[in-house]
Chain A
Amino acid sequence: MNIDTAEALSLDENSEVSFSQLLVLSGLSDNDLRELVDHGALTPINPNASSWMFTSYCVVVARKASRLSRDFELDAHAVSVLLGFVEKIEALESELHALRAGALGHGLAGTSDTVSR
């Protein structure tokens, strides 16, 4: 039996979702989502517009906020603070990963482009 192949869509900075799409995908209420924006946990691409748009990576953040709120019984302010810490940890882990990969160099040596075929 043929099984259709479904496309997986990246949730990242390269695609956008609307406020109403974010509501549906996160399971948050309108009020909760607006509070997360107010507290700085989510940032619209166009904060001054009447209809906010977000990068699709915000779906990841909003779903995380929804889980944290539900599972730890927290209000929007507490969730925003917690998300801030989680973001900081993720940034540090990313930097550590880059260091281990060699991305941050050895200080004395430079980087040169090289032609290859």
Chain B
Amino acid sequence: MKYKDYYKILGVARDASADDIKKAYRKLARKYHPDVSKEKNAEESFKEVSEAYETLRDPEKRAAFDQLGSHAAGQEFRPPPDWSQHFASGSPFDQMGQNAFDDIDLADLLAGLTGRARGRSGGRAGAREGPIPGPDYEAMVRITLEQAFHGTEIDLDLSVAEYDERGVAHRVPHRIKVRIPKGVIDGQKLRVPGKGGKGMQGASPGDLYLDIQVQPHPLFRTSGQDLYVDLPLAPWEAVLGTSVELPTLAGAVSLKVPASTRAGQQLRLAGRGLSRPGGKSGDLFAIVAIVVPTVVNERERSLYRELSESSNFDPRAHFKLGAAA
């Protein structure tokens, strides 16, 4: 069992009052709660803070925790020889030999002392008597834009709590294969029914909730189900019109660029975006950028000069209108 220094996590002294512990928790909850925080690793940090508070706010659990002794954070340790007898009597951990604690999670141990299992919705406790629904699990899943477009199957490796016949939770690795439907977008939430923790005494298992993160793509940008790609054109292509090969997530297509296409214009390829569930797909927009060559030969320079002398085009005509007003 790995040690976690709950006092250090909350930033309080070992003799801190209940009030100090509450204040410290509130401050850290505001900083790290995943629904309101933008800190890196907020979810992991909040999980630690939450576990620390759940233990230290309860006088019984706090006393039991204090008697585990003080160790370095992350250090493997076992409770003192008579700890179970004093603090775990009547709980699933009663009469457990010291080496039986090796694959137990500290938070599960302390939660189990009051006969409460960590239940659904991220730890809502319920009384041990009667069926207890299995806990829900949450996982962040990073996929590429190509995987989002086509749909994909992913393997998830989770560390889950499995209860033995005594009701003691043991952390075991668990691999789940999940099919992600096509058309998911960054930030979307998915639910995998029944793939959470096992229920106890005949209750249903929990669910697995996935938080989708779509990795940035070198070419395409997304907005909902729509895709955007920059389309560089040479000046003569924009003026005269042309046909270009445009990459899409389903393979390259030929795109007709009309004559007199302007910079910033969005050329729409209907239905070439991400799928919408039960509906038509989003679109792909090619955003025109007119780019000029940085190196020109003498003939090109001469042609540009001839063009500038023979054209009446004034791209800054509106400056004069603005100045006159």
Residues of A within 8 A of B (CB): 3-12, 14-15, 25-27, 56, 59-60, 63-64, 66-68, 70-72, 82, 86, 97-98, 100-103, 105-117
Contact = CB atoms under 8 A, between A and B. Distances in A.
Contact of B285 (A5, A111, A117): A111
B176 A6 contact: yes
A110 B266 CA distance: 6
B35 A8 contact: no
Interface of B: 26, 29, 33, 35-36, 46, 50, 119-124, 153, 175-181, 184, 188-195, 207-210, 221-224, 226, 228, 230, 246, 253-258, 262-270, 272, 276-279, 285, 287-288
Contacts of B268: 111-114
A27 B206 CA distance: 11
A72 B123 CA distance: 14
23 contacts: A4-B177, A5-B177, A6-B192, A6-B194, A7-B179, A8-B191, A9-B192, A11-B188, A11-B191, A27-B119, A27-B124, A66-B124, A70-B124, A101-B222, A102-B230, A102-B287, A103-B285, A110-B265, A111-B268, A111-B285, A112-B267, A114-B268, A117-B254
Nearest to B154: A8
B266 A111 contact: yes
B180 A8 contact: yes
Contacts of B190: 8-11
Contacts of A26: 121
* In the A-B complex, the 4 residue pairs with the closest CB atoms: A27-B121, A106-B264, A109-B264, A101-B221
B221 to A, nearest CB: 4
A63 B121 contact: yes
Contact of B266 (A67, A102, A117): A102
Nearest to A106: B264
A116 B255 contact: yes
Given A27-B121, A114-B255, A105 B264 contact: yes
B178 A6 contact: yes
Nearest to A114: B267
B277 A114 contact: no
Nearest to A9: B191
Contact of A86 (B36, B121, B257, B266): B36
Nearest to B268: A113
B176 A3 contact: yes
A11 B189 contact: yes
A4 B257 CA distance: 48
A116 B228 contact: no
A64 B35 contact: yes
A59 B272 CA distance: 30
A3 B191 contact: no
A56 B267 CA distance: 34
Contact of B253 (A67, A82, A101, A116): A116
A67 B122 contact: yes
B270 A14 contact: no
B213 to A, nearest CB: 13
